[in-house]
Structure 1
Amino acid sequence: MTGTRRDSAALAALLTGLAACGGPGSIVVDNANIIDGTGAVWLTGRLVVVDGLLTCVGAPADCAEPGGVEVLDADGFWVVPGLIDVKEAAEVPSNEQTAYLAFLLGVTTAAIPEIAEGPEGEPLPPTGSDDARIPVPRPATPVDEPSYPLGLFGQALAATIPPDVGGPPGREERDLQLYARSRSTLADREALLDSARAMGARGAAFAPGLLEQERWAAPYRLPHGMNRLVGFAMVAERIQDRLLPDRTPAEAEQLSAALEVLREFVREFHAAGGSVATATNGALAPGLALHEEMNALVAAGLSAEDALYAATREAARQLGIEESRGTLEPGKLGDFLILESDPRLDISLTQTVSRVGKGGVLYDPPTLFDALLDTPGNRVSDNPVRLVIGGAALLLTLLLFARGVRSHRRSLGPRIVS
């Protein structure tokens, strides 16, 4: 086993220990503003999780507090279902950090194609787990749909591009990629939109991956003023535009025009009743990509609330897991986010993640993220000695903290009054 994998295993053990401090999967979140994903909003509501499952969501008068369960006063905060990524890329991570980062930014379920082993034949570390004590997304099976530019949008294109239009001018990989990303500009626009409306009217499902097309149309820039985690080099280094080919001004203009075609297709498809869900295909950094995909859906014409549903209810439906996830209803898994602000006002506010709940176990993203760092931009796992010392100190601190609050109401932060 390499040093990197030993350090990674130690980090996993540390985070598992930290997760155990969250409790047995039973908690009451009180006085919160709850968007349950079904269309209902409970102002100053209550959410109850017992043994990992939601038992009540609604008005406090209708949701009794079970005895012996920790109560979290979330006055002024917003609770939404955990975010779901319909399709991530089948990448080969060097360690579990990709999964940890996605979870800490609110992705509680991710569909990642399985890869049996790494490039050197070594077994890969888990990138998902249903164990609530492990702070990574739950795994799901990806939808059986070819990636862009095929799939639903590709089907519509094939029927609306004139048959006499040839392929790319060359056979180099660069030319093939640019052509595939921009060929929608060759389609009959009205016929393409008619296809979008017809598909939407019959209730088809679509995960457009708009963010990936946005990256091709223009270089990406990190958002500012949102979750502090996105500012660290561990996240930012994964966002470079280096994976895309250089584009001439003319090619960039063509790709921008293609983006507008896709946006219009999504807008008409959704307006006609189609199911739109979030799929990142590995674009950008883990976790951040899903928030930016919701932003991309809003840029295409969906409301902020519809974009939130795309990352929760509709994503669960497209993955066939709507019986257990996607909305906050009794009987479903206790996977939820506690946000600082109402995401219906601005979808970018989904980045203001204060707590992540998985099976009723609460996680504090900054605390766990600090366990991945010794100084901003460096991994604790880069140095085994710092890992052991820093991890032990952090674990002891959290154990003492957990003992002090076990029988008391706990505050989320300075904005909360217990």
Structure 2
Amino acid sequence: MRAPLRPGTLTLRNAQVMDRAGVFVADHDVVVRDGVIESVAPAAGPVTGESLDLTGLWLMPGVVDCHAHLACFEEDTLRYLSMSTSRWALECAGSAARLLDQGVTFVRDPCGADAGVRDGIHAGLVPGPTTQVAVSALSQTGGHGDGHLPGVGLEASNGFLMHEYPGRPPYLADGVDDVRRAVRLIVRAGADWIKICTTGGLLSPGHDHPDVPEFDADEIEAIVREATRAGKPVMSHAYGGSGLTDAVTAGVRSIEHGARLSEEQAALMARRGTFLVPTLSVLHELVRLRDDGAVSESVAAKVSEVEPLIGEAVRVARAAGVPIALGTDLTEQVGNLAEIAYLHRAGLTPQEALLAATANGAELCGQSDVRGRLEPGLIGDAIVLAADPSDPEVFLERRNVVGVIQGGRVHRWSAEPERRTRP
């Protein structure tokens, strides 16, 4: 399933086009027919049909965000708890539309949005990136995903991202039999991925910590085995320690965050082909929130412990040859494309950072044969920039993205109107 493709032809003229190595090649035309790239070739003069004149502009594939919560739209806990399910679904749709506006044309939601949100986007009911969902983040009782509020005796998911309604699959499970059943229920709910928490985290209540392993090895192996039987890959929230090692050994497809990644763990990930999604954006945002006094004392203490490590996992992973894909753990607070600049600051070359945001994310999400590069036969998802993306710092300014194309349709265009020609 995917967001709708646009019938007809769109020619993106005279662009500096990103190639499969992350290098920009000048004066090329990209022709998109019926939503799919038909050709990428040196500029050939006048064209017929709809076109965009991209002279002096840069064209790259649409960004793939492998870790963005569409349900992360509200900082007021009371509003989350009192929100109706219909309002929650519409808020998720709003998050999706704003992601697409930024230039994110594909998103993997690691928990929060459910299959209905995904299917509504793909049916064209609302604008948004092509979406994969994990529906629930599976955690042990008292683990990172447990948002239990003892004062009022309320059971809730961490962050209240997973709105409760009849039929919602579980987010807490304990023991091999229980986790196996939980995976089956999440699959039944239409999940594309299984998300598990194998260490504590930063935003979870004070009862857990990023250094603490969660789920034992038998439980993690049972989860991965059951997910594999159902044809679903597994992602693991893990900061480091034995929880990260157990997840990689069991066969998860990606590690989310990984701030305490060791050289030995990176070597294991490289051997297993496990991706790292380092989510630097949310770490920078949490430092800002801590400095503004906007988080609890327990969260602030954990953020202060992790702050010196921001970016270190990227350097360790790169040195070991671990594939790295972009993920933000945000939707719009600081701009999701800023992650490209953060990856570069952490040690990736500009080309590596651009590939982490495009081709690598497509590979992680099983989409390499349909997206992630500007090549014939792939879906025509692209963004247009007014500043040279060979300097990743340009992604810190949202205004530098002047055009978003999804499936051959111009979703947003803020460059000069005269550059656009319609039949």
Q: TM-score range by the shorter chain?
A: 0.5 to 0.7
Question: Structure 1 residues 208, 49: CA separation in 2 closer, same or farther (over 3 Å shift)?
Answer: same
Task: Give the equivalent residue in structure 2 for 1:106.
Answer: 103
Pick the structure with more helix per residue. 1
Report the equivalent of 1:364: 412
- Give the match for residue 45 of structure 1: 28
Which structure carries more strand by proportion? Answer: 2
Deviation by residue 1:137-181 (Cα, 9 ceiling, x = unmatched): 1123559997998999998xx8xxxxxxxx99xxx9224257669
CA distance in 2, matches of 1:348, 1:320: 28
Instruction: Work out whether residues 337 and 395 of structure 2, in 8 Å CA contact, stay in contact via their aligned partners in 1.
Output: no
Matched, 1:285 2:332: yes
Letter in 2 for 1:109: F
List aligned pairs for 1:60-71, cutoff 5 A.
60=43, 68-71=48-51
Q: TM-score, normalised by structure 2?
A: 0.59
The answer for unaligned runs of 5 or more in structure 1 is 1-15, 118-122, 159-166, 222-239, 368-397, 408-418
Task: Tell me how far 1:330 sits from its aligned partner.
Answer: 0.2
Say yes or no: does 1:195 pair with 2:265: yes
Residue of structure 1 aligned with 2:282, choices 212, 235, 239: 212
Partner of 1:245: 296
- 1:318 equivalent to 2:360? Answer no
Instruction: Give 1:364 deviation, angstroms.
Output: 2.5
- C-alpha contact (below 8 Å) 1:277/1:315 kept by paired residues: yes
CA contact (8 A) 2:22 2:354 kept: no
CA distance in 2 between partners of 1:405 and 1:365 (Å): 12
Is residue 302 of structure 1 aligned with residue 357 of structure 2?
A: no
Amino acid at match of 1:267: R
Q: Does 1:59 align with 2:42?
A: yes
> For structure 2, which runs of at least 5 residues remain unmatched after alignment?
72-87, 146-193, 213-236, 245-258
The 1:336/1:134 distance shift into structure 2, 3 A limit, reads farther
Q: Does structure 2 retain, via aligned residues, the 8 Å contact 1:313–1:322?
A: yes
Deviation >4 Å, runs of 4+: 113-117, 123-127, 141-155, 177-187, 247-252
TM-score for the superposition, normalised by structure 1 = 0.60
- Residues 308 and 347 in structure 1, CA contact (< 8 A), matched pair in contact too: no
**In structure 2, the residue corresponding to 1:214 is in which secondary structure?**
helix
Give the AA of the match of 2:356.
Answer: A
- Alignment partners' CA distance in 2, 1:192 and 1:26: 49
**Are residues 209 and 146 of structure 1, via their aligned partners in 2, closer, same or farther at CA, if it must alter by over 3 Å?**
farther
* Residue 182 of structure 1: how far off its partner (Å): 11
Deviations 1:42-97 (A, max 9, x none): 21111111111101113125xx87x7422321100000000111132262454432
Instruction: Report which structure shows greater RCO (CA 8 Å, sep ≥6).
Output: 1
Could you tell me which amino acid in structure 2 is paired with residue 210 of structure 1? L
What is the match of residue 135 of structure 1? 127
Task: Rate the CA distance shift 1:146–1:81 in 2: closer, same or farther, 3 A.
Answer: farther
Q: 1:144 to 1:272 in 2, by over 3 A?
A: farther
SS in 1 for 2:313: helix
Name the residue aligned to 1:273: 321
Conservation of the 8 A alpha-carbon contact between 1:25 and 1:361:
no
| Correspondence 1:85 to 2:68 | no
Closer, same or farther: CA 102–254 of 1 in aligned 2, 3 Å = same
Give the secondary-structure state (helix, strand or coil) at the position aligned to 1:276.
Answer: coil
* 2:65–2:357 Cα contact (<8 Å) kept: yes
